Amino acid sequence: MPDTGMSPAGAGRKNIFLPLDKSRTMSLERGLLCPECGELLHRSDIEAFTRCPFCDHSFSVDTELEDFILTPMVNEWAKQQQELSAEEDDLLLP
């Protein structure tokens, strides 16, 4: 492996996010591009480990990567809470 002058964790590299569906220019779902092997990774590929499953590259953890992983989970949780709240309101109506 060539010496890049960076730590093994890839410090100093900015994470690159791209639309997963390249045919749709306004795709809301994004993927993370691995700078080592070039694979376009889905959130589920790295949500448990911040390493590329193809080449074991360690991504630099920053707020953008945290948002990439957590935002869909938080949105799903909020949606479920709204649905539960609506069901509770229906039960309280006479």
SS3 content of the chain, % helix, strand, coil (to 5): 35, 15, 50
Between CA 50 and CA 27 the distance in angstroms is 23
Residue 25 CB contacts under 8 Å (≥ 6 apart), including other chains: 19
- Per residue in 12-25, pLDDT tens? 577 877 877 665 54
38-92 pLDDT per residue, tens: 999 988 888 878 889 999 999 888 898 888 888 888 888 999 988 888 777 666 6
Q: Token digits for 3?
A: 């010496």
Query: What whole-number distance in Å separates Cα of residue 56 and Cα of residue 83?
Result: 39
